Amino acid sequence: MTSVSSALPSEARICPHCKETILKSASVCPACHHYLQFDAVRTGVSPSICPLRIEGTLRHPDREKPCEYSVVLEVCDEGGEVISRRVMNVGTIHAAEVRTFSVRVEVSSHDKPAV
């Protein structure tokens, strides 16, 4: 495993384990939780915090017919313009089934390392 030096804020790369697009400064992949860097302290990456977490449960509304669902994630800027819109998952829920969904936003600062 190699360290990532001098990554600029918002620079992205592909996780070598799960192939998701992640921040270049990430020490741990937020998707698969594999370690990517061993020298995060030296590179100036602070631990992430989670200022937003939303969780909800979908219960089947009709006892006779299956229902389809789509999980859509949309990110907008301060002016309301859509930056990104992705369908994260689709599926079917049958009678008496339940699905739980959660959305989490992790934030970390990118400080300059001490010389």
Locus of tokens 């989490």? 104
Residue 67 has pLDDT above 50, yes or no: yes
Q: Quick one: 57 and 91 in the same domain? A: yes
- Dist. CA 81–CA 104, nearest whole Å: 21
Cα–Cα distances in angstroms (integers) from residue 73 to residues 20, 23, 45, 80, 98, in the given order? 15, 18, 26, 14, 20
Per residue in 3-29, pLDDT (tens digit) is 444 567 778 899 999 988 888 888 888
pLDDT for position 31: 86
Give per-residue burial for 19-30: e unless 16+ CB within 10 Å, then b. eeebbbbbbbbe
Total domains in the fold of the chain: 2
Q: Quick one: 25 and 73 in the same domain? A: no
| Res. 92 pLDDT band, cuts 50 70 90 | very high
Residue 114 lies in a domain: no
Q: Write out the residue range of the structural domain in which residue 42 sits.
A: 1-47
